[in-house]
Amino acid sequence: MNFVVAFLLLFGLVFFTGGGVGILRFPDFYSRLHPAGKLDTLGSL
């Protein structure tokens, strides 16, 4: 059971990290909202 929990936490962390990279990478405000919204939603699931 602990293995499954650790796997899911790492899986969510990958999406949160991707959202952070998307916020820093894209040039304007509206482009930054898209990866942050999508990846943070997937990371919290």
pLDDT of residue 18: 80
pLDDT of residue 3: 93
Provide the residue ranges of all domains of the chain, joining segments of one domain with +.
Answer: 2-44
* CA-closest candidate to residue 18, choices 42, 27, 45: 42
pLDDT of residue 2: 92
pLDDT of residue 43: 67
Determine the longest span between alpha carbons in the chain, in angstroms: 42
Which amino acid would we find at residue 15? F
pLDDT of residue 31: 84
Residue-wise pLDDT for 1-45, tens only, equals 899 999 988 988 887 888 788 788 888 888 888 877 777 677 666
